[in-house]
Amino acid sequence: MTLDGFDSGRTARITSVNWAILAEDEGKRLQALGVDEGAEVAIVHRGVFGTRDPLALRIGNMTIAIRRAHAAAIEVEAA
Amino acid sequence: MSRKHTVALVGNPNSGKSALFNALTGARQKIANYAGVTVERKAGRLTLPSGEPVELLDLPGAYSFDAASPDEAVTRDVVKGTFEGEVVPDVLILVLDAANLEQHLVFAQEVLELGRPTIVALNMVDLAERDGLTLDPEALSEALGVPVIPTVAVRRRGITELAAAVAEAETHADEEAHKRWHLTLPERRLSAKHMARAAILSKSTRHTIENGVDRILLNPWIGPVILFGLLFVIFQAVFAWATPFADALEGGVGVLSAGVTDTMAPGIFRDFLTEGVLAGVGSVVVFLPQIVILFAFILVMEASGYMARAAFLMDRLMAGVGLSGKSFIPLLSSFACAIPGIMATRSIADPKDRLTTILIAPLMTCSARLPVYAVIISAVIPETTVGAGVGLQGLVLFALYVAGIVGAMIVALVLRRTVTKGAASGFIMELPRYQLPRIKDLAIGLWQRAWVFLRRAGTIIFVATIALWVLLSFPKADEGESQLDASYAGAVADTIHPVLEPVGFNREMSLALVPAIAAREVAVSALATTYAINAEDEDLAAQGVTERIAALWTLPMALAFLAWFVFAPQCLSTIAVARRETNGWKWPIVMVVYLFALAWIAAGATYWIAVSLGL
């Protein structure tokens, strides 16, 4: 399943990232922030009601904000 | 040991680099732009323990050398020595967030691979301790092959040790380090993990405060309420808290003006000082307290880590007009002044997002509009209450702010579908850790912004005011002729008045717009000077500009004038900074044309509607 559908608060392991559907610089940026195969992430906050966009992601000791569209490119499994 | 001349700070964003820079240099800082690019160059003087001064350069934060943003490209080129016009730094200070080692060590390896003389500042060790981490700087030093100094920039811990280590650093490149590493990103990440693990002596499972605080501040229901509450407090404070200071400044200018009148013989030079210099520049300096208060809030929001949360909360709304939460920060700054606002768009990576934000920033109601709004409103809008505690004057002012915001959102929507059309913008942003801002860092930031404002008042506004005074004062009118009709300014007014007559402007209003191109607030002093010079007798000359407007303008005229100032690009500095930040004249011209068109239409619509309503 993809990260945007994963439960908040639970830790997910990234199995693959569909870089092709991300803009090139966004992909690079996510990778530089540690979003890549094998990394463990958790959704810690979701944005405003309704759309629940954007998401706050805990990765390592860092919190990063991304949009659901990015999260939809990230395949995960429960860690 | 050879002499060192420049030292550069490098590191990830949010590693506390700027706080370290402030701690190392104090207020001895110079901010400029790198030649040819829109990235800011921050340099200051660092005094080594020997007393030897070196230039310390604060490079833009970077996650990687191989990434997209212009900031990161500058950092890469400067440390590699390929940036034209910039010398290669003799020593690098690599700043790492002690609590976020695993992530920051990835970029650290990229820096160390260059083989430049490097010292590591293991920064924010206090936050790491707060999170229950005990670190071993020596193990890290061994793993990296360079000295590691634990620091807490905001509390000045480790600063002297860091300066001493810089003095000790050898200035020749370390060929071995260059050979030792040459890794791919996944390899770097793996070795960062190992190094971080080796450097962490113990790790308690204490919960970071971020999660708890964010659960409230980023809550989908409570978060926006807190943000809008805060914004309300900010704007309330800008008006209420600034009043005593503004009154004091105004009083000071008045005393000065009276002093000049008393001590100098009547004549052209005295008129020049009182009508030109003091009336013009004085009317602008009065707004310094408001600028300082607004920026104090913005700087605290940034330094504490809340600003990124505000961007997170605003992202959804901004996405509605094709922007991202990142645009919220520059737009909020633009309420103080569009110039720093436009410069703050540098943090937006996407070029189309950034351009759109630059083009709409002038629509945020900057503090330069306040003098115009305040004078016109108090002249023509009655001081009646329309409801519990709500005055009509305040309501009109609020409506003007809303008109600017709504206008900006509509323009953004149109721009994103036309000239800045492109892929839907993304939003990727680190939410930094919460931190108590340091007073000294705030003071430095406030001083820099206040200085920019005062310099503007002292240059552009000064020159515009004097030019107008000269144009209004010469040639001298003959007996029985009005000074305005006789002057050069009168001729200028006659030229542009036909364009503005349909939207309800009289000749004085049209004339005031000319010097106000330089800066909006000049409109007030322009009207004051025009009415003062043009007064037919002494009684009229003694009247303030507010009374003259109240007597001579109709309500529809005044409302049209207000509507004009919501939109019109009446600020040379903004146009200049837009040119600098977009590297050319094309976009500033687009901006000026669309804003004038909007201003004319808005003023006209306001006037025609008001007249047809019989106001």
* 3-class SS shares of chain B: helix, strand, coil, % to 5: 65, 10, 25
User: Mind listing the pLDDT tens digit for each residue in B528-585?
Assistant: 777 776 666 666 655 677 888 888 899 999 999 999 999 999 888 888 888 888 888 9
Contact between A66 and B319 using a beta-carbon 8 Å cutoff: no
State in Å, rounded, how far the first CA of chain A is from the last one.
13
> Does residue B1 belong to any structural domain of this protein?
no
In chain B, which residues have their Cβ closer than 8 Å to the Cβ of A69? 424, 426
Determine the pLDDT at residue B218: 92
d(CA B387, CA B606): 24
Q: What is the full DSSP assignment across B234-302?
A: HHHHHHHTHHHHHHHHHHHHHHHHHHHHHHSPSSHHHHIIIIIIIHHHHHHHTTHHHHHHHHHHHHHHH
d(CA B416, CA B423): 10
Of the two residues B594 and A9, the one the predictor is more confident about is: B594
Contact between A33 and B430 using a beta-carbon 8 Å cutoff: yes
Q: Please work out, in degrees rounded to the nearest 5, the angle formed at the alpha carbon of residue B567 by the alpha carbons of B564 and B573.
A: 110
| Residue B319 distance to chain A (closest CA, Å) | 10
Tally the C-alpha atoms within 13 A of residue B211's C-alpha that lie toward its C-beta. Answer: 14
User: Mind listing the pLDDT tens digit for each residue in B371-420?
Assistant: 889 889 988 988 888 777 778 888 898 899 999 999 999 999 999 998 88
Contact between B189 and A34 using a beta-carbon 8 Å cutoff: yes
Q: Quick one: angle between helices B369-380 and B392-417, nearest 10?
A: 140
Q: What is the mean pLDDT of the segment spanning B327-350?
A: 86
Q: What is the mean pLDDT of the segment spanning B4-17?
A: 89
Q: In Å, what is the CA distance from B410 to each residue of B314, B325, B413?
A: 17, 17, 5
Residue in A29, A51, A70 closest to B316 by CB:
A51
| Residue B10 distance to chain A (closest CA, Å) | 16
Bond prior to A54 in cis (omega within 30° of 0): yes
Bond prior to B588 in cis (omega within 30° of 0): no
User: Mind listing the pLDDT tens digit for each residue in B268-321?
Assistant: 788 778 777 777 677 667 778 887 888 899 899 988 999 999 999 999 989 989
Return the sign of the alpha-carbon dihedral for residues B96, B102, B104, B110: positive
d(CA B168, CA B259): 58
> Does residue B128 belong to any structural domain of this protein?
yes
Contact between B428 and A49 using a beta-carbon 8 Å cutoff: no
Contact between B429 and A46 using a beta-carbon 8 Å cutoff: no
d(CA B505, CA B511): 10
Q: In Å, what is the CA distance from B587 to each residue of A62, B38, B576?
A: 37, 15, 11
User: Mind listing the pLDDT tens digit for each residue in B413-452?
Assistant: 999 998 888 766 689 999 998 888 888 889 988 888 888 7
d(CA A27, CA A43): 19
The first and second tokens of residue B580, run together, are: 């600098």
- B→A interface, C-beta within 8 Å: 63-64, 66-69, 99-103, 106-107, 131, 185-186, 189, 208, 210-211, 214-215, 218, 220-221, 224, 308, 311-313, 315-316, 319, 325, 349-350, 423-424, 426-431
A8-22, B171-185, B237-251: least confident range: B171-185
Give every CB contact of residue B319 below 8 A, 6+ residues apart in sequence.
A53, A67, B424, B425, B427
> Does residue B330 belong to any structural domain of this protein?
yes
d(CA A5, CA B542): 72
CB B560 within 8 A of CB B503: yes
Q: What is the full DSSP assignment across B401-423?
A: HHHHHHHHHHHHHHHHHTTT--S
- H-type helices in B286-368, by residue range? 288-304, 306-319, 328-333, 338-343, 351-360
Query: Which of B150, B170, B203 is a domain's end point?
Result: B203
Whether the pLDDT of residue B61 is over 70: the answer is yes
Q: In Å, what is the CA distance from B522 to each residue of B69, B345, B370?
A: 38, 27, 11
In chain A, which residues have their Cβ closer than 8 Å to the Cβ of B427? 54, 65-67
Q: Model confidence at B352, in pLDDT bands (50, 70, 90)?
A: confident
> Does residue B78 belong to any structural domain of this protein?
yes
Asked if B106 and B67 sit in the same domain, the reply is: yes
> Does residue B219 belong to any structural domain of this protein?
no
d(CA B401, CA B342): 19
Asked if B198 and B231 sit in the same domain, the reply is: no
Residue in B63, B67, B312 closest to A47 by CB:
B312
Contact between A51 and B349 using a beta-carbon 8 Å cutoff: no
In chain A, which residues have their Cβ closer than 8 Å to the Cβ of B220? 46-49, 52
Q: If you ran DSSP here, which 8-state letter would residue B117 be given?
A: -
Query: Which of B203, B238, B256 is a domain's end point?
Result: B203
> Does residue B220 belong to any structural domain of this protein?
no
Domain of residue B231: give its range: 225-424+434-612
Residue A4 phi, psi (nearest 5): -65, -20
Determine the pLDDT at residue B535: 65
What structural domains and CATH numbers belong to chain A? 3-78 (2.30.30.90)
Residue B298 phi, psi (nearest 5): -65, -45
Contact between B431 and A56 using a beta-carbon 8 Å cutoff: yes
| Three-state DSSP class for residue B349 | coil
Contact between B426 and A60 using a beta-carbon 8 Å cutoff: no
CB A76 within 8 A of CB A14: yes
SS (H, E, C) B84-97: CCCCCCCEEEEEEE
Residue in B224, B424, B427 closest to A65 by CB:
B427
Indicate the helix (H) or strand (E) that contains B80: helix B70-80
Percent of chain B with pLDDT over 90: 29
Whether the pLDDT of residue B347 is over 80: the answer is no
Residue in A32, A44, A69 closest to B67 by CB:
A32
Q: What is the mean pLDDT of the segment spanning B169-174?
A: 64
Q: What is the mean pLDDT of the segment spanning B188-206?
A: 81
d(CA B442, CA B445): 5
The first and second tokens of residue B371, run together, are: 């003098």
| Three-state DSSP class for residue A36 | coil
Q: In Å, what is the CA distance from B377 to each residue of B170, B390, B398?
A: 65, 15, 12
Asked if B366 and B465 sit in the same domain, the reply is: yes
Contact between B315 and A28 using a beta-carbon 8 Å cutoff: no
Q: Model confidence at B180, in pLDDT bands (50, 70, 90)?
A: low
Quote the distance between the C-alpha of residue B481 and its chain's center: 47
CB B227 within 8 A of CB B313: yes
| Three-state DSSP class for residue B204 | coil
Determine the pLDDT at residue B290: 80
Asked if B601 and B517 sit in the same domain, the reply is: yes
> Does residue B429 belong to any structural domain of this protein?
no
- H-type helices in chain A, by residue range? 24-32, 68-71
d(CA B585, CA B76): 28
Is A68 within 8 Å of chain B by CB? no
Indicate the helix (H) or strand (E) that contains B109: helix B101-112
Q: What is the mean pLDDT of the segment spanning A47-69?
A: 88
Asked if B470 and B544 sit in the same domain, the reply is: yes
- Please state, rounded to an integer, the average pLDDT across all residues of chain B: 85
Determine the pLDDT at residue B283: 66
In chain A, which residues have their Cβ closer than 8 Å to the Cβ of B135? none
Sheet with B148-150: strands ordered across = B29-33, B40-47, B53-58, B6-11, B91-97, B118-123, B148-150
In chain B, which residues have their Cβ closer than 8 Å to the Cβ of A3? none
Whether the pLDDT of residue B157 is over 50: the answer is yes
d(CA B283, CA A64): 45
CB B26 within 8 A of CB B441: no
CB contacts < 8 Å between A and B, how many?
A: 111
Asked if B272 and B415 sit in the same domain, the reply is: yes
Determine the pLDDT at residue B1: 44
Whether the pLDDT of residue B121 is over 70: the answer is yes
Q: Mutation test of the interface with chain B: which of A62, A64, A70, choosing the one with the most B Cβ atoms within 10 A?
A: A62
User: Mind listing the pLDDT tens digit for each residue in B457-516?
Assistant: 677 777 877 787 788 777 877 776 777 777 888 888 888 899 999 999 998 899 888 878
CB B368 within 8 A of CB B285: no
Residue type, B50: S
Residue type, B268: I
Chain A residue whose CA is closest to B65: A32
CB B409 within 8 A of CB B279: no
B35-39, B162-166, B576-580: least confident range: B35-39
Contact between B430 and A63 using a beta-carbon 8 Å cutoff: yes
Asked if B267 and B371 sit in the same domain, the reply is: yes
- Using the CB atoms, write b or e for B572-591: b if 16+ within 10 Å: bbbbebbbebbeeeebbebb
> Does residue B309 belong to any structural domain of this protein?
yes
Whether the pLDDT of residue B181 is over 70: the answer is no
Chain B residue whose CA is closest to A21: B423
Whether the pLDDT of residue B226 is over 90: the answer is yes
Residue type, B319: A
CATH of the domain at B76: 3.40.50.300
Whether the pLDDT of residue B204 is over 70: the answer is no
Whether the pLDDT of residue A17 is over 50: the answer is yes
| Three-state DSSP class for residue B219 | coil
Chain A residue whose CA is closest to B127: A61
Asked if B165 and B313 sit in the same domain, the reply is: no
Asked if B245 and B103 sit in the same domain, the reply is: no
Asked if B192 and B249 sit in the same domain, the reply is: no
The first and second tokens of residue B302, run together, are: 């940034």
Determine the pLDDT at residue B537: 62
A56-65, B414-423, B518-527: least confident range: B518-527
Determine the pLDDT at residue B38: 66
Q: What is the mean pLDDT of the segment spanning B329-335?
A: 89
In chain A, which residues have their Cβ closer than 8 Å to the Cβ of B186? 36
Asked if B242 and B190 sit in the same domain, the reply is: no
Q: If you ran DSSP here, which 8-state letter would residue B459 be given?
A: I
Contact between A65 and B429 using a beta-carbon 8 Å cutoff: yes
Residue in B311, B315, B429 closest to A64 by CB:
B429
Chain A residue whose CA is closest to B316: A53
Q: What is the mean pLDDT of the segment spanning B8-34?
A: 85
Q: In Å, what is the CA distance from B385 to each residue of B376, B388, B394, B395?
A: 18, 8, 9, 9
Residue in B69, B101, B423 closest to A23 by CB:
B423
CB B515 within 8 A of CB B529: no
Asked if B318 and B241 sit in the same domain, the reply is: yes
The total number of structural domains in chain B stands at 2
